[in-house]
Structures are given as structure tokens and as C-alpha cells.
Structure 1
Amino acid sequence: METKLLAAKIHNLRFWVTECDPMQLKVRFQNYLEKVDFVILNCSDHHFPVQGYTALWMLAESHLAIHTFPDKGYTYVELSSCNQGKSEHFKKLVEESDLQVNWNGEGVEICKPENN
């Protein structure tokens, strides 16, 4: 097996959507991950007793997390990935969807240590 060294940088995509239904969110974002060919290692979710929902997909490329705030009518979504192409493709799927999206930042942001 060939070893691939990666730069210490993460492509981060953060946004809010107005969809708060846990099942709709889980199915939709699972489908996006699969369409982009992210390698899904695990998925875990939690329904909070009073209200709210969190889901986390552990990816070979990093992770996707969603957190609902149903009392406010919003869900926060954050994708972190070491693969810029997959991150950009994921963003395009979100943009082309029927979701009402409020982007945080300028799209896919590159996060890296100062001396990298």
C-alpha cells in the first residue's frame, strides 16, 4: 500500500438551513455524501429529550455535523474535509437543492496552521 502525505489543511464549509426535520436532514445529507463519494466510516445521531437533533458522519476525509435548533427554525451544518474537490462538489449539491441556505463565510474556506 502506498502512503500518501497530506498537507495540514482542512477545507471547511459552514452554513445554516431552515429545514429542521431530523429524518429529512439525515437522508438528504447522507445522499449528498454518497453522491460526492465521501468515504463514510460511521454515522451517529442523537435526539434531545425536549427538542433538537444532532448527527455526525465520520468520514475518511474528516466529518460532517448537523445540529438543529427547531425553536429558532434553523439547522447548522458543518463539513470539514481534506479533499477540496469533494468539498466543492458537496457545496454545489447544496446550492442546487431546494434548501434555503445562509452561508457562513465565503464558501469552502481553507483552514491551516500558520506555518504550513
Structure 2
Amino acid sequence: MSLSPTGTSSPTKFQSGTDSLSSGKHLICDIKNIKNESLMNDINGLKNMLDTICERYLFTILNKAEHCFTPQGITILYLLSESHISVHTFPERNYIAMDIYTCKDYPNNDVYVEIQNYLTSNFESSDDRYIIIDREY
């Protein structure tokens, strides 16, 4: 699927097959024009946000890894029983790349839209793009 500026997707190589089974959903986020710039270098603030997401949506955290770059930027990875979360901040570009892949079975994409709205609200972003991919096998 390719990403359009409105957050909707258009088909490309990722086409659902009639015999395909879902292995989960993958939320891919690009968050730009961030007003809450201090959060991009706040390791504890970022982890609190991720912990809140995990608690709210019942994701089971198995392990966490993080790295703070010099002079700025953070990468955080959460290994989940249900898959993973990754966050990469680029303060010099006022940009965050984040993805959440989970095999949890939700009836629709509302949960992923809620998560995206939560992220956009916390970062006070005026420009976010996202795509939700149904991972199939």
C-alpha cells in the first residue's frame, strides 16, 4: 500500500488474497511539525507514552531497548508478546517515525486510529501520516 497525504492508502503490491490469513496489523506513522519538541528528546516521557499504549490496549511487554543519540534523537524498541513497537525521533527534522505491529485480533481499525490520535495529541503535531497494513500469509 502506498501512503497518501490524507492518511488513506491506495493499493500497490499489498493486495489481499482470497486465501490469505491475517498475521496482524501494522500501524506505520510519520509524525511531523511537532510543537511539543521537548518530548522528542525525553526518554522517560516517550516510554511513559508507550507504556500507556501498552496498558490501554493490553499489549504484553517482554523487553525494552533504548538508545539516546548525541547530540539528539532517541530510538526505543518494545518487544511485545503480540509483536513490537518502535520509535525513532529526529529532532533536527522535527519528525518521528513510529510503528506498531500486533497480532491482536481487533474487529476493525478503530484501535489503530485511536493510537494515532493519541500520538498526534501528545506530540501536538499538525502533520501526521499513517497507514494500517493487514499483514497476511
Same fold (TM over 0.5): yes
**Distance between the aligned counterparts of 2:113 and 2:64, measured in 1?**
20
- Alignment partner, residue 28 of structure 1: 49
Q: Does 1:94 align with 2:135?
A: no
The structure-2 alpha-carbon separation of the partners of 1:68 and 1:96, relative to structure 1 and needing over 3 Å to count, comes to closer
**Where in structure 1 do 4 or more consecutive aligned residues deviate above 6 Å?**
none
Q: Does 1:49 align with 2:70?
A: yes
- Displacement of 1:96: 4.7
In percent, how many aligned pairs have the same letter?
A: 23
- Number of residue pairs aligned between Structure 1 and Structure 2: 105
Instruction: Kindly provide the amino acid, as one letter, of the partner of residue 128 in structure 2.
Output: N
> Are the aligned partners of 2:22 and 2:134 in contact in 1 as well (CA < 8 Å)?
no
> Are the aligned partners of 2:74 and 2:89 in contact in 1 as well (CA < 8 Å)?
yes
Specify the SS of the correspondent of 2:92. coil
Structure 2 unaligned residues grouped into runs of 5+: 1-20
- Displacement of 1:104: 2.8
Structure 1 unaligned residues grouped into runs of 5+: 1-6
- Alignment partner, residue 27 of structure 2: 13
Query: Mapping of 1:48-87 within 5 angstroms?
Result: 48-85=69-106
Provide TM-score, normalisation by structure 1: 0.75
The structure-2 alpha-carbon separation of the partners of 1:84 and 1:21, relative to structure 1 and needing over 3 Å to count, comes to farther
> Are the aligned partners of 2:41 and 2:72 in contact in 1 as well (CA < 8 Å)?
no
| Superposition RMSD in Å | 2.3
**Distance between the aligned counterparts of 2:50 and 2:112, measured in 1?**
9
> Are the aligned partners of 2:66 and 2:77 in contact in 1 as well (CA < 8 Å)?
yes
Q: Does 1:109 align with 2:129?
A: no
> Are the aligned partners of 1:12 and 1:80 in contact in 2 as well (CA < 8 Å)?
yes
> Are the aligned partners of 1:33 and 1:90 in contact in 2 as well (CA < 8 Å)?
no
